[in-house]
């Protein structure tokens, strides 16, 4: 998934069973500002990835980035998940700006940590219901 890494090309033929992704993909489709298609797959080592776009003009887009970054990258010193949430982009000088070409990726770092488990962690810590913009506003006010 990283620029120039080549690992993505290896994954295209090794997708595995997509039922593993159903819970996480369903959850992501409900998150405000996430839109368009959502890609997913597995690396040869058993780790997985999910790639999606955010509408960066959406009023909650940066709140989503902050919440995902907190839960997926740095929940606490003693309770880190084996995941990384990060932006990815092709070379901007060849393509265009972030509204069209900036994507976001969740990658696992431990094959035993399943996409559905990532969904459960997000669901347990983000506003509920996640699609309710008023819940996000209330969470940001505290």
Give this prediction's pTM: 0.85
Nearest to 108 by CA among 80, 73, 83: 83
Distance of CA 140 to the CA centre of its chain: 20
Ranges assigned E (strand) in 17-127:
34-42, 48-54, 83-88, 103-108
**pLDDT tens digits for 90-121?**
988 888 899 999 999 999 999 999 999 999 99
Say yes or no to pLDDT of 14 above 60.
no
Between 19 and 42, where is the model more confident?
42
Return the domain boundaries, the chain.
7-141
Contacts for 25 with CB less than 8 Å, ≥ 6 apart: 38, 40, 50, 115
Distance spanning both ends of the chain, measured CA to CA = 35
**pLDDT tens digits for 49-74?**
999 999 999 999 999 999 999 999 99
What is the CATH architecture of 7-141? 2-Layer Sandwich (3.30)
pLDDT band at 77 (very low <50, low <70, confident <90, very high): confident
Q: What is the mean pLDDT of residues 21-39?
A: 96
Mark residue 97 as left, alpha or beta (left: phi above 0; alpha: psi -120 to 50; beta: remaining): beta
């Amino acid at each position: 998934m990283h620029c120039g890494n080549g690992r993505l090309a290896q994954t295209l033929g090794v997708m595995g069973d997509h039922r593993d992704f159903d819970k996480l993909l369903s959850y992501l489709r409900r998150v405000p500002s996430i839109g368009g298609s959502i890609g997913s797959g597995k690396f040869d080592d058993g780790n997985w990835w999910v790639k999606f776009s955010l509408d960066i003009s959406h009023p909650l887009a940066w709140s989503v980035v902050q919440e995902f970054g907190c839960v997926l990258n740095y929940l606490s010193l003693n309770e880190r998940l084996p995941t990384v949430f990060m932006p990815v982009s092709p070379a901007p000088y060849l393509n265009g700006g972030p509204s069209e070409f900036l994507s976001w990726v969740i990658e696992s770092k431990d094959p035993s940590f399943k996409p559905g488990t990532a969904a459960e962690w997000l669901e347990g810590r983000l506003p509920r219901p996640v699609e309710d913009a008023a819940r996000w506003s209330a969470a940001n006010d505290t």
